[in-house]
Every structure is written in structure tokens, then in C-alpha cells.
Amino acid sequence: MALYLVILPALVGLAALLAPSDRWRPWLLPIGSGLHLSCLASLIRAGETVSHFDGWLVLDATAKVFLLAISVLHFLCMLYAPGYLALRRERPNRILCACMLASLAMMSLVVLSRHLGLMWVAVEATTLVTAPSLYFNHNARSLEATWKYLLICSVGIALALLGSFFLAYSALHAGLKPTLLFDDLMAAAPDLSRPWLHAAFVLLVVGYGAKMGLSPMHAWKPDAYGEAPGMVGAIMAGGVTSCVFFAILRVYQIAVRSGDGEFASRTMTFLGLLSMLTAAVFMVRQRDFKRMLAYSSVEHMGILAFGVGLGGAAIYGVLLHVINNALSKGVLFLSAGNIHRAYGSKLTEHVTGAMRGLPLSGSLFLVGFFAGCGSPPFSPFVSEFSIVAAAFRERHFVGAAIFLAALMAVFLGMGATVLGITLGKPSRSPQHDSFADGVQTGAPIVLLMGLVLLLGMYLPPFLSDLLNQAAQSLAANS
């Protein structure tokens, strides 16, 4: 049944590609995404690990956590899509709709893949199926953003391919049977050739890190997120990056199991803190609020990398933060998309008073800022607190201090931009006064915000159990 997580969205995506009507085609998006979420819910309820094709595809507790974050975010973004596309009737939506569902299928394949070669193929496929979505607006800036995305991510994925070869060769060089099956590599990890494993780890982290948006491989993000439609940016920031982080997590497990945990941990904590500091620097006086969200994504990828590098008790917080980041990014990107649509600009000098000019979206953007920056009582506070508490517990005082300083700098830099946009006298130009918050473009954001608030105050037992199982599994297999 786990195969349906790939097959169902792919089939509905094919139907969207063949559907003749631009008016009715967008309604296939919530249908395909809803089928995916329903199937995943059934598998989580069953509580079993599911394996296909001799262990090439496996749905375990860790995969369920990542797929839950991806599926919920994707479904709520697809509920938003028909209302958004109804406002964009001047643009054909055939390619966008097909790509949105294909991206869900490929993200699912990344997370299910237990064979690192197949995982690499699926990660590359997510690049290819999301790139056309970036060009939806068909202007010079979106074309430039699309090419940057393709170029930088393709270089990264090429490095990851080389790293995968090195990983297999580390077994061959040690006199073992070369393989890219995760379970076989974990079993043979202590005997792998250490120099080749080092090289493989660096290439894979740098290669996949380029797609994930870790600094300094993040250069494509500001352009891509700045020019993408809001729902596309949300799926990329909360979905695609999560599944690529999952790929890095698998490689990290192999490195730790081999006895090279100190090198892997230092690499991940360094990249994590560097990403957070980079985001903090570029958020200061940021004039483009959609580019600001790109740097927010860089920051949160850094939080995940830092938490993984700490290991131990921080892993639970990392897994929870995967979910929290996806939901909070959905709030920010969708509300930012509505504000952009209403004002006809994403520059701070042209956008003020959004809470008065666009009450629902403006308010959600402001509240989403506090949530995304880890303010209580929202869920990112819980996961970020878990990570920094683990850092202090493990006596990583310097790393914890830098972590907290970066969080504060991001809060101040991002806050200056967000408050300038949402407060004050509305600056809406007359030609855009026809846009207003509606049920279709507002309700999905409210639902996302409700989940962010709920998970900050109450963690459902099924989710708590799933997170504990995944954290224990990662600890046992590292």
C-alpha cells in the first residue's frame, strides 16, 4: 500500500496534464493530494513498517514523520490552489497543476527509497518537476530564477552522484561487496574504507546541501522563492527541502555507524550555524519580503543541520521541527502571496499597512512571523527549545550561544521588515483594490496557523508516539 503514496499523485497528475479545462483542472490538485494524505493516514494508523522490492522502498517511522509533514503541507496548499489560479486566468495552468502533483509523487519516492541510487534519482526528479512551476509568471525574473535553480541544483546533484559512487567504492576498497542499499551499508559501515567514506560524506552533504539550501550553497533560494507563486514557494521551503534533508540524514547515519561520528557531527553543526548566521546577515534591512522568506528557509535548514550534528536528545526536536517548519512556512508563503497579489509589489517601500488593507492575510503574516521565529506558544518554539536544551545538556555551550544569537538576529532583522509591511497606513494602489481575502485563499492559511498553534500547546498521542519511535530508530541505527 505504501506504493500508492507515489502512484496516486502521479496518476492524478497525469489526469491534470490531459484535462482540457483550465477552469476545472485546479480541482484535481486537492483530490490527488487528499488521496495521498488519506493513504498515509491509513498507513500510520496501521503502525507497521512496510517494505517493497526487497527493501528498496521502506516506510518506517522516520519516513512517516517526513511524509506527514510533506503531505499535510501539500494538501493545504492544494486547497489554496483553485482560488489562486482562478485569479490568474491569464496564465495557462496545465503544466503547473501536473508539476505540483508530480512533485508530491517524487518527494514521496525520496522518503521511501532505501536504495541511495534510487533516492538520488528521486531527488533529481524533484528538481525537474518543480522548475517549470518557478516559471509560472513567464517574465524575465522568473526565467532567471528558474535557470539559477536548475544550474546550482544540478551541480549539487552531480556532486551527490559522485559521492554515491564514492560510498559504494568505500565498500569495494575494503574488500566488501559494493552496494548502495542503506541497510547493507549500515551493516558494513564499521568496515568501510575511511578515506573514501570521508570523501563520500563531504560530496553528498555539499551536493544535497545545495538542493536543501544550506549556506554557502543557498544562492538559488532568494531568486527562486522570490519569483515563485506562494504555494510553490511553500512546497519548496517546507516539502522539497525536507525530503532532501531526509537524504542527508541517511548519509549521516552511515557515517556515524562507521565510527566517524565526530567528523560528521562537526561538519553538520558547522554548516548549520553558518546557515543561521548567513540568514541573519542577509535579513537585515531586507527590502523584498519574499526573498526574506528564502533566508528564513536557510535559517531553518541550519537549525535542522545543527540539531542533527548534536545527535542524542536533539534528534526528537529535529524531527518535530521538520513538521513545524513545514506548517509555519505554509502560513508565511501563502499569506505573503496574497499580500503580493493585493499590492502588486513585494518591496517594502510599496507595501505598508497590510493588516488594515488585507486584514486576514496581513494578520496571518504577522502571526506567522512570530511563529516562524520560534516565539511561544507556537510549535517552532517547542522544537527549537528542544534542540538548544540538548546543546546545553551535551555541554556545547559555544554552539548553543551562537544558535541563540543567530535566532535573536533573525528575529530583529525579519521583524523590522514584517512590522513595516503589516503596520501603518495601507499603501494599496487603486488598480489592485479588486483583490480581497476570500474563503479559498484564506481558509487554508487559517488551518495551517491553527495546526502551528495546536502543536505548540498539545502534541497528539499518535504524533508523540511516532516521533519517539523515529527518534529511537535513528539513535539505534547511528
**Count of structural domains within the chain:** 1
What is the rounded (10 degree) CA torsion for 11, 17, 22, 23?
-10
Q: How far apart are CA 221 and CA 217, in angstroms?
A: 9
- Can you give the pLDDT at residue 176? 84
- Can you give the pLDDT at residue 432? 47
- Can you give the pLDDT at residue 431? 46
Cis preceding linkage at 377, omega within 30: yes
What is the rounded (10 degree) CA torsion for 190, 193, 199, 202?
0
Q: How far apart are CA 330 and CA 236, in angstroms?
A: 10
- Can you give the pLDDT at residue 478? 58
Q: Which domain holds residue 409?
A: 4-476
- Can you give the pLDDT at residue 476? 66
Residues 6+ apart with CB under 8 A from 443: 79
Residues 6+ apart with CB under 8 A from 88: none
Count CB atoms within 10 A of the CB of residue 439: 9
Which residues does residue 115 pair with via DSSP β-bridges, in sequence order? 181
Positions of the chain with pLDDT lower than 50, given as ranges: 430-432
- Can you give the pLDDT at residue 81? 95
- Can you give the pLDDT at residue 365? 96
> Radius of gyration over alpha carbons of the chain, in Å?
21
DSSP 423: S
pTM of the complete model: 0.95
Residues 6+ apart with CB under 8 A from 410: 276, 279, 280, 283, 296, 299, 373
The most distant pair of C-alpha atoms in the chain lies apart, rounded to whole Å, by 72
